[in-house]
Structure 1
Amino acid sequence: DSNVECCSCCVRTDESCTLYFLVCHVAQVHAASHHDSQYNRPFLESFEETPMLVAVLTYMGYGILTIFGYLRDFLRHWKIERCHIAREKEEQRDFVPLYQDFENFYTRNLYMRIRDNWNRPICSVPGAKVDLMERTSRDYNWTFEYTGRVVLDVINLGSYNYLGFAENTGPCADSAAEITMKYGVGVASTRQEIGNLDRHEELEKLVAKFLGVESAMVFGMGFATNSMNIPALTGKGCLILSDELNHASLVLGARLSGSTIRVFKHNNMQSLEKLLRDAIVHGQPRTHRPWKKILIVVEGIYSMEGSIVRLPEVIDLKKRYRAYLYLDEAHSIGALGSRGRGVVDYFGLDPCDVDVLMGTFTKSFGAAGGYIAGKWELIEYLRSHSHSAVYATSMSPPVVEQIITSMKCIMGEDGTTIGCDRVRKLAENTVYFRRRLREMGFIIYGNEDSPVVPMMLYMPAKIGAFGREMLKRNIGVVVVGFPATPIIESRARFCISAAHTKEMLDRALSVISEVGDLLQLKYSRRRIQPSLSLPCDDIVFEDIDD
């Protein structure tokens, strides 16, 4: 077919579109036009609407839980309810209460019912498979007891081990062990005092080379890389434009900075441009003076949605309105791009167009900590003004060595193709896993190339049920609900790894399908059909008749 429907009000031809996909009344699928020429590859993201019946039943489920929760609180007050675990002990009455009746109502009456799905202790390397310590609870998940039994070889679909470098064998483990014997584990000082090792200096040069920028600086904690550096970059009289789904570390850093914060709709360039235009036209409130700085803060991959930032469009807006851009590549560095250089590499852009490149070593590199990279002047400023740089203890030597070795593998500087093979394997696993889930009828969020795969559960009772049923079948998954997601958009979040074999993924998909049938989770009203007229990586969606 030579015509492709791009929105509800127009039809474009093949010649004017490089991205092919249909927008159904139950889905939102975004595209970039050919004449725009900002994208060098198809940019496909899908966010299927919640079916009306599912939304109604989900609200009813929360309503029933709320009614029974208040009823149980009433019965506890009159000492009719025998279970008083959710209340303060008599001997603690004179202290500040730990559980406020209203503020912690959700925690006491829903979270505690399904708390066994989180904080599960593992006793192995968090690789493609893990070993879990079995535990039980006698008081409705308020406390746990370990049985002494270990659940072996659980397929791990929850860890951020995108490239499989979280391992206890191989070149990374060997290098970390060797450096531990030489330097020890701890540095016991800050970088500005006597905790600056030659390995720290080498790592920073390697990170700058890896990203293609002038300079870089590393920090011992990924969360603090955001929360402690943003306040050093902006302050009073500055404006931060933040995506509504930005990570908590970015939100905290923005708040600590004292800057004015305005939020734009997720990945919505019209919303961002409107805020930029208003900021330029009106300036600061009351005085209408120009803003000292305007900083756009976005992420590479959004960890709850599986979506990828529309970086070419963000950079275009940033240049047009002369703003600064802060890009958090915590999940995208190593996991995107043909060379594993992150979302900048994925879109084939110039890293110098991003003013502040931030990323973490906790995911694709199997280590800990984070980095800030950019121009030499920026990094030198942060060395003396960043709280995380001045006051925090230096990164542990074996952690540094883990990062150096894994990064050299990705760059091919180790003399092997291990890194390139893993980057390619991750991309293949991601496309395969996402496609199979859609074929089964699940609602999947995010970009086709994102290794973060959210699968919608919706109803509160199914959050805990899905996690437990999967674990019974030796599959470890992460389930997420309110307040980490909107109240009716509870989900399971799968993280795909290059360490997963096709057999592992097929086994996991088979179990997901089985549990999906058991819990009736196949909500999608779309059916995937292969199209001969489209490239092999594209898919066409059709409505399924009710």
Structure 2
Amino acid sequence: MAKTATPAATAEGKKAAAPSKDHDVETVPLVAAFLCYFNFAILLTFGRIRDFFGWWSGYSRYKGSGKDRRPGVADMFIAWENFYTNRIYHRVQDVFNRPVASAPGARIDVIKRISTDGNKSMTWTNETQSCTNLGSYNYLGFADDWMGTCAGMVLPHVQTHTVCSNSPSAEFGTTPIHAELEKIVAEFVGKEDAIVYNMGYGTNSASIPALMGPGTLVLSDALNHTSIVNGVRASGATVSVFKHNSAKHLEVMLRTKIAAGQPRTHRPWKKIFVIVEGIYSMEGEICKLRPIVDVAKKYKAYIYVDEAHSIGALGATGRGICEYAAVDPSEIDILMGTFTKSFGGMGGYIAASKDIIAMLKHTSSGHLMGTSLAPVVAAQVLAAFKVIMGRDGTTIGATKLKALRDNSNFLRQGLMDIGMVTLGQFDSPVIPVMLYSISKIAEFNRQCLARNMAVVTVGFPATPLLLGRVRFCVSAAHTRADLEAALANLAQVAKICHIRFQKHAFG
């Protein structure tokens, strides 16, 4: 793989030097695959042996774990789930679910935990550890400068509306701040209207069933988020999965499914949707939107784009994948996004035509039955939009967007120079690095924490068995000194954990 000379090289040169890495099982280095399977074989073998002797002797610290002691009541957990939790997950659970005691800024205070029973349980201590935060979705750094950028526009709403609306949007949950937020969202993304929800995950899972149903064909990217998958399942629509980011395979699937028609009856589909994401959160890959839109338009399919990680992070003015890919928002039927990544808040939105939004307000369960977005959070998101758009009278928003882009590219190039296998493209603030083996996942996380770096590692069953990884999330609030220090430490950790697979066959 060609590389630029230094992390400070131009973005254009770096983009040309770093094509997207494939991340199928077939691309896993043979040494990494062997070690991964070998690790699991050891864990499975000795775990089963210990379970047998525990059963035979009548003594085991996991005796009765997962069993329901009431006569005639089925066990809650299946045998494999119980075994995996007891014999595998407990060995590494110290690197997951770390509690924190501060705002998720460029630095974060991690609460120290101890275990006195071999990691079966973790006990919080009263001590914290200040770490460089490389795991939170604080893309534009509002968690760091909130008092200076947003507090003045947010705090008055705490006194006016308190913290919770105590009602769904369809009842008494809509305030002027919600209406203003929906208006500015629609304006920002270039659509006629918008609707906001109290949860990003729920935005997809509650909106998709209202938009799709039996007789609908959904073409879903193979790496779409779980919220999309569960939303489509709940809708009753027929789902076909196309190869990740492949407009060519999408066209093959569309042509085949349209020709075949609905299952059993072979009647024409009532409507067809193509669903993709702006940035894929576990891969750091940016959607190839232009060719996908062209294919969808050719076959008269609606286009649904999830911008959870791309809105406020991609594009010269932060307007997401449409701006970044030079696709007019009018070509996209439905734009979805969340407020948890770039806006320092929570919740999500759907932006579309006035007719579609009106329909969602009459049929979407998230709007009709879910408590509305807290007014104070709506005020925070609105304030963030104003900063990003420069309506606060400053250039803070533009500075944040540039800093995020520069920091993302600097860290990605640095990781590549170390020799780590990185996924995704330049300009993405999500940078996954492949670790493969569960033993490397645990040791990498522990070594990073020992060097005051807080990172998020992910493994099976959240990823396929061979595709464990660490996911770095970059922030505009990171300084160049933060990232240089992080790269120096990561170079040491990569050497210890043997994950420099771009330079050495054995890592």
Q: Give the TM-score taking structure 2 as reference length.
A: 0.93
Q: Which of 126, 143, 149 is the matching residue for 2:104?
A: 126
1:425 is matched with 403
- What letter is aligned with 1:463? I
Structure with the largest fraction of helix: 2
Aligned to 1:347: 325
Could you tell me which amino acid in structure 1 is paired with residue 140 of structure 2? Answer: L
Contact 1:72–1:81 under 8 Å retained in 2: no
What corresponds to 1:162 in structure 2? 139
Match among 252, 255, 274 for residue 296 of structure 1: 274
The residue identity in structure 2 corresponding to 1:158 is: G
Task: Return the alpha-carbon distance in structure 1 between the equivalents of residues 117 and 147 of structure 2.
Answer: 40
Distance 1:508 1:80, change over 3 A: farther
- Conservation of the 8 A alpha-carbon contact between 1:204 and 1:218: yes
C-alpha contact (below 8 Å) 2:67/2:76 kept by paired residues:
no
Match of 2:252 in 1: 274
Q: Find the aligned partners of 1:319 and 1:355 in 2 and give their Cα distance.
A: 11
Amino acid at match of 2:288: R
Helix, strand or coil for the counterpart of 1:123?
coil
* Cα contact 1:86–1:108 (8 A) shared by 2: no
CA drift at 1:287: 1.6
Aligned twin of 1:255: 233
Q: Structure 1: where are the runs of 5+ without partners? A: 6-17, 23-28, 30-43, 527-543
Q: 2:383 matched to 1:387? A: no
Task: Please state how far the C-alpha of 1:520 moved relative to its aligned partner.
Answer: 1.1
Question: How many angstroms apart in 1 are the aligned matches of 2:462 and 2:427?
Answer: 23
* 2:21 corresponds to 1:46: yes
1:107 aligned residue:
85
- Higher RCO (C-alpha 8 Å, min separation 6): 2
Are 1:484 and 2:456 matched, yes or no? no
Q: Tell me if structure 2 keeps the 8 A contact 1:456–1:491.
A: yes
The 1:63/1:365 distance shift into structure 2, 3 A limit, reads: same
Identity of aligned residues (%): 45
Given candidates 436, 453, 459, the residue that maps to 1:475 is: 453
The CA deviation at 1:89 is: 6.9
Q: CA deviation at 1:84?
A: 2.5
State the aligned residue count: 493
Structure 1 residue 143 displacement after superposition = 2.4
Deviations 1:176-219 (A, max 9, x none): 22210121111111222222101110000000111111111101
1:6-405 map, 5 Å: 44-47=19-22, 49-79=27-57, 82-84=60-62, 87-88=65-66, 95-151=73-129, 153-167=130-144, 168-405=146-383
SS at match of 1:133: strand
> Aligned equivalents of 1:280 and 1:454: distance in 2?
36
Provide closer, same or farther for how the CA distance between residues 412 and 273 of structure 1 changes in structure 2, counting only shifts above 3 A.
same
Aligned mate of 1:415, from 393, 406, 409: 393
CA contact (8 A) 1:87 1:99 kept: no
Which segments of 5 or more consecutive residues in structure 2 lack a partner in the other structure? 3-12
Q: Distance in 2 between matches of 1:390 and 1:278?
A: 37
Letter in 1 for 2:374: S
1:93–1:79 CA distance, 2 compared to 1 (3 A): farther
CA contact (8 A) 1:166 1:367 kept: no
Quote the offset at 1:58 in angstroms. 1.4
User: With structure 1 as the length reference, what TM-score do the two structures score?
Assistant: 0.86
Cα pair 1:240 1:295 within 8 Å, conserved: yes
Distance 1:131 1:231, change over 3 A: same
**How far off its partner does 1:75 sit?**
1.6
Shift of 1:81: 5.6
**C-alpha distance in structure 2 between counterparts of 1:362 and 1:380, whole Å:** 24
Could you give the per-residue CA deviations for residues 74-114 of structure 1, whole angstroms, max 9, x where no partner exists?
12211276432673579567654243222333222222211
Q: Choose 416-425 or 74-83, whichever is displaced more.
A: 74-83
